[in-house]
Structure 1
Amino acid sequence: MTRTPRPTRWAAVSAGAAVVAVLAVVALVAWVLARPGASEGAELAQVRGSPTASASPSGPGPSPSFSPPPTRDATLGSLASRDTPAPSRLRIPDLDVDATVTGVGVQADGAMVIPAAPTSVGWYRFGSAPADPEGHTVIAGHVATREDGPGALAALRSARPGMRVVVTTADGTEHAYEVRGREAIVKKALPVDEIFARDGRPLLVLITCGGEYLPELRSHRDNVVVTAVPV
């Protein structure tokens, strides 16, 4: 009777090494998919034409999956009420983005509030709206959450110049924009005054997280910033 040989110790070690290698490849692929693409098209300052802004930012606060950019004082009385309708829906057909837009302010630490639902994004309601004659309409959303996976703006890292963006406001009006540029910016170097400017030509600025995830900070290293102009 022939006895079936048992796997040797070296075979077991080899099999274990193969599993580790596969897991390493999977982790690498996940990291590559999570980071933003290289900047493409015009930078925000170029599209804006002027880096001057009208107020100073406050500091950002931590968040498990999205550290939003620092924002302005939400107590500014001049924008407490507005005549222009607020955004209610954001669509980027080429990226299959279709999200509900919610007006948001800031947290106690000065960080922009971001809706938790993965299908929702936040519009900074103390800034400009699509129908305003000047200033930036700023909309931000999670790239992903631990509970729900990819967020509404996860595909923003693939935005390219020429893509169409449509923002629908509460009165049913559709405001069309064309993407001019996408930037991957380290959060510490984020040009907050330019992003949240209330002066200058009207622009749409979309923001999400990207780049390497830093466990010690519970945050991604970069922000993906997409700039679009009205058409």
Structure 2
Amino acid sequence: MSTTPESRRWSVAAACAALVALVAGAALTGWVLTRPDDTAGDGLAALRTPAATTSAPPPTPEATPSVRATPRATEATAAAPRPVRLRIPDLGVDASVRPVGVQRDGGMVIPAEPTSVGWYRYGRAPADPLGHTVIAGHVATREDGPGALAPLAGAEEGMRVEVLDADGVRHRYVVRGRENIRKKALPVDEIFAREGRPLLVLVTCGGEYLPELRSHRDNVVVTAEPAG
């Protein structure tokens, strides 16, 4: 996703490319060498229902590592209060959430500020009874270093997640899975599902850093379900 003068919006792909300046640091190199397992708990495939992929928007995975989606606003999405803050206490995540759409190339817009993450506003909101609420953020930027979702690589089953919406309602979730998914194989239809059980899906870059591509190999996808 490209940077604009107005908001410095980048795509997840651009955030990955920006990491080339950080990989030289000892801390990030150490993380690459000792990164967590590729999966933890149940992933998207285990949590989805047959209906979950029937009404998803029609984004198509590309060779690039960006998260791609086609905007299709619905009445349900418009009526539900938008998320404004994301917290994962066990990981130290506390980020403001901004509604975002797509750029001309179909890439999901991501706020450039490291303390902010983007909510896909053409998808579902936390108060919607069906479908996935998708929030994505940078793992790092060249100017600001690690992003708000950099700790997602350490997400474990059972961790608590909280999303505050614009009406002041706190939506509580429990992490059920974390997957490192090859970017070329990212299951976009599942991630942006509009039907099926309500889930929160968090996405950032992760996995092995590939210097020749100036990009990480994978996307880290964390799936959480509403707390009972």
TM-score by length of 2: 0.81
Distance 2:100 2:42 in 1: 28
1:70 paired residue among 68, 71, 93: 68
Per-residue CA deviation, residues 77-135 of structure 1 (Å, 9 max, x unaligned), is 53596111000000000001000000000111001111000000000000000000100
Distance 1:97 1:153 in 2: 7
Give the match for residue 137 of structure 1. Answer: 133
Distance 1:26 1:84 in 2: 41
SS of 2:152's partner is helix
Give the match for residue 185 of structure 2. Answer: 189
Q: State the superposition RMSD in angstroms.
A: 2.4
SS of 1:127's partner is coil
Give the match for residue 56 of structure 1. Answer: 58
Instruction: Verify: 1:115 aligned to 2:111, yes or no.
Output: yes
1:153 Cα deviation from its structure 2 partner: 0.4
Instruction: Verify: 1:32 aligned to 2:29, yes or no.
Output: no
8 Å CA contact 1:60–1:110 kept in 2: the answer is: no
What are structure 1's unaligned runs of at least 5 residues?
A: 1-22
Q: 1:82 to 1:31 in 2, by over 3 A?
A: same
8 Å CA contact 1:68–1:114 kept in 2: the answer is: no
1:52 Cα deviation from its structure 2 partner: 2.2
1:174 Cα deviation from its structure 2 partner: 0.3
TM-score by length of 1: 0.80
Bigger-Rg structure (1/2): 1
SS of 1:82's partner is helix
Give the match for residue 218 of structure 2. Answer: 222
Give the structure, 1 or 2, with the largest relative contact order (CA under 8 Å, sep 6 or more).
2
8 Å CA contact 1:79–1:127 kept in 2: the answer is: no
Q: 1:104 to 1:56 in 2, by over 3 A?
A: same
What are structure 2's unaligned runs of at least 5 residues?
A: 1-23
8 Å CA contact 2:83–2:165 kept in 1: the answer is: yes
Q: 1:80 to 1:113 in 2, by over 3 A?
A: farther
Query: What amino acid is aligned across from residue 42 of structure 1 in structure 2?
Result: D
